[in-house]
């Protein structure tokens, strides 16, 4: 499974990229707004930090507007992936961009039918939002299972399932078990994946025993 980091905080991205765990980045207007910086400046800096795809979302809602904004975003860096909403105009824009070989992330997916449409439109990624479904008492991981199964039934589809709105490590593990291709994670969730109380306890014991020897490694 590939890990994308879901943030526009360049300091967080740089720190996590140093681990080798970051395969890409996803952003959205809300995340960029939190930085208080110009969007294109933030995007350019992120694209320099990672080699993988960096999803940059259009804000237009009509196909023509989406395509105009896409051109401006694509001019920033070669690893920009255009993010469009799962609407009729978004699917039209996806088809036009993907026909040119442009990577497209179709976002705000909440049903298997929507995911099927994104794949037929040539999306590189489709982003089902598991946490937001859980928030309204729907089973977000059931959606992932359904999409993965549908895509497996049609090997001609090249669209990858990008699990979004991830809230905790359980979402990540279950998505991997189901065979999702990518999970995009807030930095805090990536750090949660590392932690286990027995790891902390074991390290504490090892260090205590080492200290008793009075030795150093130099």
pLDDT tens sequence for the chain (218 residues): 999 999 999 999 999 999 999 999 999 888 999 999 999 999 999 999 999 999 999 999 999 999 999 999 999 999 999 999 999 999 999 999 999 999 999 999 999 999 999 999 999 999 999 999 999 999 999 999 999 999 999 999 999 999 999 999 999 999 999 999 999 999 999 999 999 999 999 999 999 999 999 999 98
Strands 24-26 and 2-6: parallel
Which domains are present in the chain? Answer: 2-213 (3.20.20.70)
pLDDT at 170: 97
pLDDT at 218: 84
Instruction: Catalogue the active-site residues.
Output: 83
Which residues of the chain form beta strands (DSSP E)?
A: 2-6, 24-26, 54-57, 80-85, 104-109, 125-128, 160-163, 182-185
Q: Is 36 helix (H, G, I), strand (E, B) or coil?
A: coil
For 194-212, give one letter per residue: b (16+ CB within 10 A) or e.
eeeeeeeeeeeeeeeeeee
> 199: which 2 tokens?
């790891």
> 195: which 2 tokens?
């932690």
pTM of the model: 0.94
Q: Are 131 and 171 in contact (CB under 8 A)?
A: yes
């Amino acid at each position: 499974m590939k890990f994308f980091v879901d943030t526009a905080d360049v300091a967080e991205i740089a720190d996590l990229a140093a681990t080798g765990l970051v395969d890409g980045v996803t952003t959205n207007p809300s995340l960029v707004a939190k930085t208080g910086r110009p969007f294109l400046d933030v995007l350019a800096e992120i694209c320099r930090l990672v080699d993988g795809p960096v999803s940059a979302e259009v804000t237009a809602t009509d196909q023509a507007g989406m395509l105009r904004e896409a051109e401006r975003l694509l001019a920033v860096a070669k690893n920009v992936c255009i993010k469009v909403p799962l609407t009729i105009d978004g699917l039209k824009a996806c088809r036009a961009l993907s026909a040119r070989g442009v990577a497209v992330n179709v976002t705000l997916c909440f049903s298997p039918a929507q995911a099927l449409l994104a794949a037929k439109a040539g999306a590189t990624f489709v982003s089902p939002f598991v946490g937001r479904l859980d928030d309204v008492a729907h089973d977000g991981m059931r959606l992932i299972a359904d999409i993965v199964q549908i895509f497996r039934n049609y090997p001609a589809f090249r669209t990858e399932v990008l699990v979004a709105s991830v809230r905790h490590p359980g979402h990540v593990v279950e998505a991997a078990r189901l065979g999702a291709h990518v999970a995009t994670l807030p930095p805090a969730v990536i750090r949660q994946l590392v932690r286990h109380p027995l790891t902390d306890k074991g390290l504490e014991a090892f260090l205590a025993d080492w200290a008793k020897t009075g030795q150093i490694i130099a």
